[in-house]
Amino acid sequence: MDERESERLTSEAVIFTVVKGLRRAHVCQNISRLGCMIETGDLRVSTGTDVEVEFVEGVSVPGRVIWSRQGHLGIAFRDELNLATVRYLALIDRPDMDDHALRDRFGRLLPEILARAS
């Protein structure tokens, strides 16, 4: 059973990490006030490594790698994020849902259904 202390939200935000002076871009898979999971590609980082996570210009937080497997890292933040920041990052790159178009549960547009002529 998953016993996280803070709700995680799905994200597709591009964030940056700085590890040992090397800055790299990653896709953030999910985020909470206490941590995040990112795609790492070929980057190998050991558990326990200190990392700086940059979300948007001027918004960063120090963290520590708590797990690393299959091209992903779990990062625990040293400082709790503001809930507004978490919600903002969870909405980046999501389709605009205010256009009233019909969409499936993944946000993809559904084809238009044409009425039959009588």
CATH topology of domain 9-99: Thrombin, subunit H (2.40.10)
Residue 82, both tokens: 């503001």
User: What's residue 14's pLDDT?
Assistant: 92
Residue 84, both tokens: 């507004």
In 3D space, the residue among 1, 3, 72, 69 whose CA is nearest the CA of residue 36 turns out to be 72
Strand, coil or helix: 91: helix
Domain residue spans of the chain: 9-99
Position 7, amino acid: E
In angstroms, the CA 108 to CA 33 distance is 28
Dihedral-angle region of residue 36 (phi above 0 means left; psi in -120 to 50 means alpha; beta otherwise): beta
Q: Kindly report the pTM of this predicted structure.
A: 0.72
**Does 10 score more than 70 pLDDT?**
yes
Identify the DSSP state of 78: S
CB-neighbour burial class of residue 76 (10 A; exposed 0-12, middle 13-18, buried 19+): middle
* Weakest mean pLDDT among 35-39, 79-83, 84-88, 95-99: 95-99
Could you tell me what percent of the chain has a pLDDT over 70?
78
**Does 83 score more than 70 pLDDT?**
yes
User: Phi/psi of residue 81, each to 5°?
Assistant: -80, 155
